Amino acid sequence: MMSTAVFDQEARHELGENLKFICQSKGLSQKALAKALHLSTATISKVWHGQVIKPTHYQSMAEYLTQTFGEDVFDLVSDPDDEHTAEVVPLEPRQNPPAMECQVITIAARKGGATKTTTTVHLSAALARQGYRVLLIDLDGQKDATEWLIDPEQELALTADNVLRDGQDPALAIVPSLHENLDVLPASAQMDSIESAMAGQWGMERRLSGLIEPLKSSYDFILFDCPAAMDFRIVSALMSSNWVLIPTTASTLDLKGLISFIPRVLHFADPIRFNPKLQFLGIVVSRVKRNTLLARDAQQWLGEEFEDLLFDHVIHESTRYQELAGYQSLIFDHDPEWSKDYQGVAGEILDRINNSNVKQSQAHTTSHGGQ
Ligand SMILES: Nc1ncnc2c1ncn2[C@@H]1O[C@H](COP(=O)(O)OP(=O)(O)OP(=O)(O)O)[C@@H](O)[C@H]1O
Ligand SMILES: [Mg+2]
């Protein structure tokens, strides 16, 4: 079934994707497969993405699948009429993204459950899949993004708590995620007590900005996943960012909350007192139920209220999102149709950043007399 004599990058990618597809269509999680084969989940993920050079891991995975599900399990991927075949999402081709200055984005919302973590994780991964080098910094003591993205057996020397509280070097805390081009600065449960620990230590909200500065030469994007409270952590993130993006669900209460939350966030863009680089990237509406009047009305109301600040792409409601974190999986691994939502938002982010850069360089040229 598999030739190991010729095993170039293309062959690895194709075989890895077939193995991944079979596992997912049989409901075999990375964790379960890792346990059966005595490998780490990170290795399983790398095999799925064609990143392991040695053929033996591919071989043992293929053997395990045929032993468990029968010789014809590979027909699943080779039969073009099989309805599952359409679900394979190929890795997007590397686009060799242009070199650009590192963009730091805070993802924040006033309320818990506004889809901050789901959005941060998927946007980070969408950008990483396009070839950008991405770092996700998890500032939430729930550790949802950390646990979603990194190998559970990964040992953590330091976490974002050590960075924020003690000023430790963030580079020492960064670990690889299970996905190519995406690293994580993990959170720890202690982080939720940081607000009281930092109380009265004026000016410490500016420290994170200086600490992450050296990381900017290693990454194209740094994204912060924040807790819901407007506390020391989110203020530190806003002081370190050049963009803030607000996800919201389309419920009436959340939309009302947006009106009061936006000025509170933009307060930190005050050039004299706070962060002159901070700009509003926009609002992403999430959990939009397809073909409902409420969703359409909410979208129309948001469009009138926030105009260009509203992203054109929305994230639709799907029960799949509730299952993904547990399987350490992403929507891109499951369904090309649903993947378009976050891929679309990631594309709009790139457009908005590029447009802003063009405007800034035009303004710069004009203010220097066109020289
Ligand atoms: N598009 C979607 N469709 C359906 N459910 C979703 C969608 N996006 C996120 N969810 C679910 O909504 C819940 C809240 O999402 P998430 O954890 O991302 O929000 P959060 O703002 O980070 O929450 P917290 O404030 O607790 O950190 C989760 O159960 C998640 O699986
Ligand atoms: Mg969260």
> pLDDT by residue (tens digit) across 84-93?
333 333 334 4
Atom 29 of ligand 1, nearest CA residue: 322
Percent of the chain with pLDDT over 70: 88
Q: Is 361 exposed, middle or buried (0-12, 13-18, 19+ CB in 10 A)?
A: exposed
Q: What is the mean pLDDT of residues 112-136?
A: 95
Largest alpha-carbon pair distance within the chain? Answer: 73
How does residue 97 score in pLDDT terms, banded at 50, 70 and 90?
Answer: low
Pairing of strands 221-225, 134-138: parallel
Distance, CA 142 to ligand 2 centroid (Å)?
Answer: 7
Nearest CA to ligand 1 atom 6: 321
Is the pLDDT at 316 greater than 90? The verdict is yes
Rounded distance between C-alpha atoms, residue 299 and residue 260, angstroms? 18
Q: Which long-range contacts (CB under 8 A, 24 or more apart) does 361-367 make?
A: none
The pLDDT-based confidence of 96 (bands split at 50, 70, 90) is low
Looking at residue 78, its pLDDT comes to: 60
Across 1-15, 101-115, 269-283, least confident range: 1-15
Burial of 283-302, coded b for 16+ CB within 10 Å and e otherwise, reads bbbbbbeeeeeebeebeeeb
Q: pLDDT at position 3, please?
A: 40
103-365 has CATH 3.30.420.40 classification: no
The alpha carbon of 117 and the centre of ligand 1 are apart by a number of angstroms equal to: 7
Ligand nearest to the CA of 145: 2
Question: Sign of the C-alpha dihedral, residues 248, 249, 250, 252?
Answer: negative
Whole-number pLDDT of residue 91: 38
Q: Are 225 and 87 in contact (CB under 8 A)?
A: no
CA angle at 123 for the pair 154 and 254, rounded to the nearest 5°: 110
Rounded to whole angstroms, how far apart are CA atoms 283 and 364? 28
Residues with CB under 6 A from ligand 1: 109, 112-118, 140, 142, 144, 228, 286-287, 315, 317-318, 321-322
Q: Whose CA is nearest to atom 31 of ligand 1?
A: 322
> Has residue 105 got a pLDDT over 90?
yes
Nearest-atom index, ligand 1, CA of 317: 3
Ligand 2 centroid distance, CA of 269 (Å)? 23
**φ, ψ dihedrals at 108, nearest 5°:** -135, 155
Query: Start-end ranges of CATH 1.10.260.40 in the chain?
Result: 9-86
Q: Cite the residue boundaries of each domain of the chain with CATH code 3.40.50.300.
A: 103-365
pLDDT tens-digit profile of 168-209?
999 999 999 999 899 999 999 999 888 888 877 778 889 999
Hey, which of 20-29, 49-58, 358-367 has the most confident mean pLDDT? Answer: 20-29
> Where is pLDDT greater, at 312 or 255?
312
Does pLDDT of 252 surpass 90? no
Average pLDDT over the chain reads 85
> For ligand 1, atom 14, which residue shows the shortest CA distance?
113
Write down the CATH superfamily of domain 9-86: lambda repressor-like DNA-binding domains (1.10.260.40)
Find the 116 Cα to ligand 1 centroid distance in Å: 7
pLDDT band, residue 258 (cuts 50/70/90): confident
| Ligand 1 centroid distance, CA of 271 (Å) | 33
Ligand 1 site-directed mutation target among 321, 324, 331, most atoms within 8 Å of CB: 321
Mean pLDDT within 295-311? 82
Please indicate whether residue 32 or residue 310 has the higher confidence score (pLDDT).
310
